[in-house]
């Protein structure tokens, strides 16, 4: 990287992979978001930034493999987004990320960017916590296997409150919060927010991104 120039970061991937959401989850508002790499009738975007974040939407396609094979591992990080849709537990997503990392020779991070963005920009309200406490003793799964099960009108006389919690924190966030309350029903809004943030996987990605950013800055300055 030329001396004196700011570190360039590009966020790329297939359509609907969650590029914009990840930028907000990481506060990378100045990063360049490319057009989708699978845009019909158009060539793949030019990926020439100092740091590249390649977003996978929970799945890995042949087009991803072809393009990732052309990118230098030392300046590329792969984000396995929508990790809550992989398998039935977080270890399933972590195992898939590890398998991809070995296969590609590039670091891969399982992340739930949509919930991470929520934890960065929001907080649990007292109403959220009260609603979750009302239902924390119910079996999960099946309570959070689907939006329909969690908001079912015949479950309890508070479907609107349950829908509001779901709107705020999505199904993965609700499931993690309920699990935390089963362990400690006295948890308050701040503690729940911290637990939920950790459960998104965003911190490990942020640390590695920051580490590489610092290395590039040091090299350019030297």
* Predicted local confidence at residue 41, as pLDDT: 84
* Predicted local confidence at residue 3, as pLDDT: 55
107 Cβ contact partners less than 8 Å away, ≥ 6 residues apart: 73, 77, 78, 101, 208
Radius of gyration of the chain (CA): 19
CB 205 within 8 A of CB 22: no
> How is residue 32 written in tokens?
């360049």
Which pTM was predicted?
0.91
What residues does 153 pair with on adjacent strands?
A: none
Distance (Å, whole) CA 182 – CA 150: 16
* Predicted local confidence at residue 2, as pLDDT: 56
Query: Using CA atoms in the order 79, 23, 86, 151, what is the torsion angle rounded to 10 degrees?
Result: 170
Whether the link from the prior residue into 141 is cis, omega within 30° of 0, is yes
Distance (Å, whole) CA 113 – CA 206: 12
* Predicted local confidence at residue 79, as pLDDT: 98
- Give the domains, in start order, of the chain with CATH numbers: 9-112+201-221 (3.40.50.300), 120-198 (no CATH)
Q: pLDDT (tens digit, 0 to 9) for every residue of the chain, 222 residues total?
A: 555 578 999 999 999 999 999 999 999 988 999 999 988 888 889 999 999 999 999 999 988 999 999 999 999 999 999 999 998 889 999 999 999 999 999 999 999 999 999 998 889 999 999 999 999 998 777 888 899 999 999 989 999 999 999 999 999 999 999 999 999 999 999 999 999 999 999 999 999 999 999 998 887 655
Distance (Å, whole) CA 192 – CA 186: 10
Distance (Å, whole) CA 181 – CA 135: 10
Helices then strands (H, E): number in the chain?
A: 9, 5
* Predicted local confidence at residue 60, as pLDDT: 92
CB 174 within 8 A of CB 133: no
CB 156 within 8 A of CB 143: no
In the numeric block, the tokens 């799945």 are attached to 59
In the numeric block, the tokens 């919060």 are attached to 177
Pick left, alpha or beta for residue 84 (phi over 0 → left; psi -120 to 50 → alpha; otherwise beta): alpha
């Amino acid at each position: 990287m030329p001396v004196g120039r700011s570190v360039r970061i590009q966020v790329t991937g297939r359509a609907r992979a969650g590029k914009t959401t990840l930028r907000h989850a990481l506060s990378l508002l100045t990063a360049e978001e490319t057009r989708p790499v699978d845009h019909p009738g158009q060539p793949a975007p030019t990926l020439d930034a100092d740091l590249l974040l390649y977003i996978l939407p929970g799945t890995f396609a042949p087009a991803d493999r072809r393009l990732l094979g052309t990118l230098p591992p030392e300046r590329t990080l792969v984000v396995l987004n929508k990790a809550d849709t992989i398998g039935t537990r977080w270890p399933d997503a972590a195992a898939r990320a590890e398998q991809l990392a070995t296969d590609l020779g590039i670091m891969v991070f399982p992340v739930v960017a949509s919930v991470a963005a929520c934890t960065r920009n929001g907080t649990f309200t007292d109403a959220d916590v009260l609603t979750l406490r009302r239902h924390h003793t119910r079996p999960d799964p099946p309570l959070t296997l689907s939006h329909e099960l969690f908001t079912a009108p015949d479950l309890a006389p508070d479907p609107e409150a349950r829908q509001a919690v779901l709107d705020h924190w999505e199904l993965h966030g609700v499931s993690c919060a309920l699990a935390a309350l089963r362990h400690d029903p006295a948890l308050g809004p701040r503690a729940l927010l911290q637990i939920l943030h950790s459960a998104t996987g965003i911190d490990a990605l942020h640390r590695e991104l920051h580490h590489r950013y610092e290395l590039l800055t040091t090299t350019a300055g030297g």
